[in-house]
Amino acid sequence: MDKQKRIVVTGAGGFIGHHLVKRLKKDGHWVRGADIKYPEYEASAADQFEILDLRKYENCLLATRGGIDEVYNLAADMGGIGYITANHADISRNNILINAQMLEASRQNGVPRFLFSSSACVYNQAKQKDPDVKPLREEDAYPADPEPGYGWEKLFAEELCHYYYKDFGFETRIVRFHNVYGPLGTYDGGKEKAPAAISRKVALAADGGEIEVWGDGEQTRSFMYVDDCVEGLIRLMASDYRDALNLGTDELVTINELVDMVARVAGKRIRKRHNLTGPQGVRGRNSDNTRLREVLGWEPSIRLEQGLAITYPWIASQVAPQRVAEMVDAV
């Protein structure tokens, strides 16, 4: 290992941030976690964990105090497609405040390097209208027509990172996440992503039962297991690459195929009931990893069914009490 670093992870109470803290501690670094909430499913491994509302500048200064070497800014108001399509104003305001003020506080406190977590939601919607979508290259974000709200604020924050380097020489890294999943992630309440939502529904369904699928199920996505995500974050932070970089897999599947995979892992026969009025986002989205391989000499390697084989049992164990209660009620 290189010398021990002092590292801040914002959003450390969330899914990716929690896994990143565990990995950084395993690698021997000193870590401060900052978030508006504690991790939901297990205690944080951070040396310090501070409850801070990072929409307030004074809290961003607190989070980055004390000779910090690196900031991973993962804090964000976000969720699945249902949540981000219903809360444009709140999401945009909250995230613009967090991102702008974390950048400035990190610079003011002399942090040498800052990583911003962007999203595949920045990509031009016109290039995502076909389920058999062409993999999205980083330059496909322009001309700009991102997802309303969440996509626009992420794209603006990417530009803000570029401005901070051009104007102040402040070293920034920009990662565009493509649908991260895994254990210890949100699986209910409206903020969960598709793999977690489908895993929950399958876990609660009887063998031979039926689950609701938003849309016709032919919309396509690629999904990245959280361990690959964390590895990519650490590699990008250590690199000299300052432009936005995709971080995802290029294993494109339909949502119907995702349901079938989860059902296989669960050992259940599942029927699909398609809700054509449910939110489903763009018709197709996939990651072009050409630049990722060029820059990092690496790309995610965990196949979707491999990751689901770990994720589904964890979610099933979480919802087991609810499943038992429903079975008792049905008697």
Q: Is residue 188, in this structure, part of any structural domain at all? A: no
Task: Render pLDDT for 205-216 as a digit per residue (tens, 0 to 9).
Answer: 999 999 999 999
Kindly report the CATH number assigned to the domain that includes residue 23. Answer: 3.40.50.720
Report the CATH number at residue 269.
3.90.25.10
Q: Which of 93, 97, 152, 98 is nearest to 122 (CA)?
A: 152
Annotated catalytic residue 150: yes
Residue ranges of the alpha helices (H) in 109-208? 150-168, 194-204
The answer to the question of residue 131 being in a domain is: yes
Residues 41 and 80 in one domain: yes
Same-domain pairing of 19 and 110: yes
Q: Are residues 24 and 170 in the same domain?
A: yes
Structurally, the chain folds into a number of domains equal to: 2
The fraction of the chain above a pLDDT of 70, given in percent, is 97
pLDDT band with cut points at 50, 70 and 90 for residue 327: low
Residues 157, 239 within the same domain: yes
Catalytic option among 72, 83, 123, 150: 150
Reported as a pLDDT band with limits 50, 70 and 90, residue 2 is: low
Tokens of 296: 């990092």
- Report H helices in the chain: 15-26, 57-63, 81-84, 88-108, 150-168, 194-204, 226-238, 255-266, 290-296, 304-330
Chain position carrying tokens 């259940």? 268
Compute the distance between CA of residue 178 and CA of residue 312 in angstroms, rounded to an integer. 19
Which residue matches tokens 């330059």?
A: 139
Q: Which domain covers residue 319, as residue numbers?
A: 194-221+252-286+302-330
**Does residue 59 lie in a domain region?**
yes
- Are residue 153 and residue 52 in the same domain, yes or no? yes
pLDDT tens digits, 274-292: 999 878 789 999 999 999 9
CA 70 to CA 320: how far, in whole Å? 40
Statement to judge: residues 110 and 123 lie in one domain:
yes
